[in-house]
Amino acid sequence: MKIAALVSGGVDSSVTIPLLKEQGFNPHIFYIKIGMEDQSAFMDCPSEEDIEITQWIAKKYNCEFDIVDLQHEYWSSVVKYTIDSVKKGLTPNPDIMCNLLIKFGAFNDKHGNEFDKIVTGHYATNYETEEGIFLSTAADKVKDQTYFLGNITYPQLQKTMFPIGDLPKSQVREIATKIKLPSAGRPDSQGICFLGKINYSDFIKNQIGEMPGEIRELETNDLIGEHKGFWFHTIGQRRGLKLSGGPWFVVKKDIDNNIVYASKGYDPISRYNDTIYLEDIHFLNPNHNYNNLRSIKFKIRHQPEFNSGILIQDEIGNKIVSDSSISGVAPGQFTVIYDREEKTCIGSAVILG
């Protein structure tokens, strides 16, 4: 079996290589270069150290190694999607789109035909039945990353391979330490994959600019502050409003008039919603009939906990009615759908405004 292993230099993807070698595979290691060093906003993207670590791993395990430059593809797809979304007042998820469009998309288009499987360091698993391949959750429920994989296509899913999906993070760290991996003690990466050390708000400001507007209290419509552009704020946000007498939470945005609405209190009712309207429902395995699917678990963001609810699909529209009200439901976010047993990742949908 020919395997392409996508290694970023981080602990998780790096540990996939000794695990694959133990199983008798000889993976071809690829480092995907996506940080836009030629753009002023990406000058701090730390790819040199990551490439050195990945080369060290390739040499240690006698694997072929190549750098794949997908900077143009990343900018024209994932970054463009992010900018276009925030301009519309939506909350994008670049990491979900990176898996769809880059790791299992552009990379596969350029090199994937040569390989049977594409390996990543995601905390996820998959299983096969007579209906084909299904995406399933990882053994480490805290680290589970199926939320970021809920929008890939079925042909992409068929090529996935997740060597660390059955391991807890602690064991992955132990393996990294045992093999003296240079990144064994590196903290888990946080934030958006293409930004490197760049602050998200600084990136948005660099790409879109500022447009000062009003912050108003939702319940009274009183003017309580100013913002620098609605695109800097998302539903459920608490930090960054710079309002006194809080806490304050963003609960609504008037895009046409550039007004951000906030509610005050530690748990304002306006933060919560029990009905989530959906568009573009995507089922990962089209061989399975989901027409009668109703009782589900779901997530509206990457987190260990699942929400419970009912999925309603009819001619009026698609929605999830949650068993309990949840906070921070923002248009543009992805909802990822699971079975009630919290085993199978069924698919995803985009939250409507």
How far is Cα 230 from Cα 90, in angstroms, rounded to an integer? 10
How far is Cα 99 from Cα 106, in angstroms, rounded to an integer? 10
Backbone angles phi and psi of 264, in degrees to 5: -105, 145
Q: Strand 117-119: give its sheet, edge to edge.
A: 65-69, 28-33, 3-6, 117-119, 160-161
Which is catalytic among the residues 45, 63, 193, 345?
A: 193
The answer to whether 85 and 324 are in contact (CB under 8 A) is no
Q: Strand 223-227: give its sheet, edge to edge.
A: 223-227, 213-217, 259-264, 248-254
How far is Cα 333 from Cα 329, in angstroms, rounded to an integer? 8
Q: Is 345 a catalytic residue?
A: no
Which is catalytic among the residues 45, 63, 98, 345?
A: 98
Q: Which helix (H) or strand (E) holds 178?
A: helix 169-178
Burial group, residue 169, by CB count within 10 angstroms (0-12, 13-18, 19+): middle
Q: Is 98 a catalytic residue?
A: yes
Nearest one of 173, 74, 99, 108 to 345, comparing CA atoms: 99
Catalytic residue IDs? 98, 193
